[in-house]
Amino acid sequence: MHIPVLLKESLDGLQIKKGGTYVDCTTNRAGHSIEIAKEIGEKGILICIDLDNEALAEAKEKLDKITDKPEIHFVHSNFRHLTSILENLKIESVDGILADLGLSSEELDESGRGFSFRFDEPLKMTFDTEERDDMTTAYEIINNWGEESMADILYGFADETYSHRIAHRIVERRKEKPIATTHELVDIIGGAVPAAYRHKKTHYATKTFQALRMAVNDEIGSIKELIDAIPKVLKLNGRACIITFHSTEDRIVKQSLRGKAESLKMVNKKVIVPSEEEEKENPRSRSAQLRIVEKIC
């Protein structure tokens, strides 16, 4: 089960107002949305966005059960389209925006889309649950991209030290037959990296899987477009909370927010991290970092 991360800290950060309008850009199964919905009450408006339609359907079931629930809009879309999503709903501005980036525990462990190296699954890694022919998948990257481009994403998105060795081994292996599953890929990565790397605490496939997922879903492009939209759609003194889970993600968020300094003020000088108690209860929260900004003009 997915336990919402930094729940109290992000709700406090949003300074939720009764009757206000809020966007959860990464609703998943409503871990944060449910609490936002309860706090804004029946006069409020909540916009629940996610690319994962199965998660959104479960979120709807949960949110429907709340008494005195606000007006809720469920939007199966990429949060990079925030401005047009709000335009379509005829909502001019909002009081708060939450983005809890990355993927949920269910997506990692149960989606069958190849996010985890622990299960042998087809190489997909798409957040979007819709099947479309034009969709980039991990299979396409692994089997069709050039060696240099692959090495670039492994290094650029996940700081993978052995990016070149891994990309080279992938290209060699796919000459024999297409690489179709996560375990085939794990086996190739294992053969490309030194023995000492294979015995580290962090699994040797972690960074490759992170980089592929980021490339498949154009995560950096989406985050940048979301941050571009934030000052345009937030009301004056409105707040946005962004939770990241690894250094590449946090670097992009920090740099992009700094680029908006004339309209967005950082509320917390240092990132907010989970308490020891939260880390103990939910080890997945360990790497979470929360940044809060407020619209100042």
**Least distance in Å: CB of 215 to ligand SAM?**
13
Is residue 29 a contact residue for ligand SAM (CB under 6 A)?
yes
Is residue 250 a contact residue for ligand SAM (CB under 6 A)?
no
| Subset of 85-144 contacting ligand SAM (CB under 6 A) | 100, 102-104, 107, 127
Q: In terms of Cα–Cα distance, which of 111, 106, 131 is closest to 31?
A: 106
Is residue 51 a contact residue for ligand SAM (CB under 6 A)?
yes
Stretch that binds ligand SAM, among 15-23, 73-81, 153-161, 274-282 (CB under 6 A): 73-81
Is residue 26 a contact residue for ligand SAM (CB under 6 A)?
yes
Of 52, 95, 249, 294, the one binding ligand SAM by CB under 6 A = 52
Is residue 278 a contact residue for ligand SAM (CB under 6 A)?
no
Is residue 222 a contact residue for ligand SAM (CB under 6 A)?
yes
Q: Which of residues 180 and 271 has its CB atom nearest to ligand SAM in the complex?
A: 271
**Least distance in Å: CB of 213 to ligand SAM?**
10
Q: Quick one: tokens of 116?
A: 């985890």
Question: Do residues 261 and 111 touch, judged by C-beta distance below 8 A?
Answer: no
Distance CA 59, CA 30 (A): 5
Instruction: Mark 39-50 as b/e (b = at least 16 C-beta within 10 Å).
Output: bbbeebbbbbbb
Main-chain phi, psi angles of 94, to 5 degrees: -130, 160
Is residue 285 a contact residue for ligand SAM (CB under 6 A)?
no
| Closest residue by beta carbon to ligand SAM | 31
Is residue 32 a contact residue for ligand SAM (CB under 6 A)?
yes
**Least distance in Å: CB of 160 to ligand SAM?**
21
Stretch that binds ligand SAM, among 44-52, 63-71, 187-195, 231-239 (CB under 6 A): 44-52
Distance CA 237, CA 83 (A): 18
Distance CA 94, CA 153 (A): 35
Q: Which of residues 174 and 284 has its CB atom nearest to ligand SAM in the complex?
A: 284
Query: What is the SS3 assignment for 153?
Result: helix
Q: Quick one: tokens of 255?
A: 């740099």
- Secondary structure, 3-state, 188-246: HHHHHCCHHHHCCCCCCCHHHHHHHHHHHCCHHHHHHHHHHHHHHHEEEEEEEEEEECC
Q: How many residues bind ligand SAM (CB under 6 A)?
A: 23
Q: Which residues have a Cβ under 8 Å from the Cβ of 245 and sit 6 or more positions away?
A: 101, 102, 287, 288, 289
Question: Do residues 143 and 178 touch, judged by C-beta distance below 8 A?
Answer: yes
Stretch that binds ligand SAM, among 75-83, 142-150, 159-167, 275-283 (CB under 6 A): 75-83
Q: Which of residues 8 and 200 has its CB atom nearest to ligand SAM in the complex?
A: 8
Question: Which residues in this chain contact ligand SAM in the complex, by CB under 6 A?
Answer: 2, 4, 26, 28-32, 49-52, 55, 78-80, 100, 102-104, 107, 127, 222
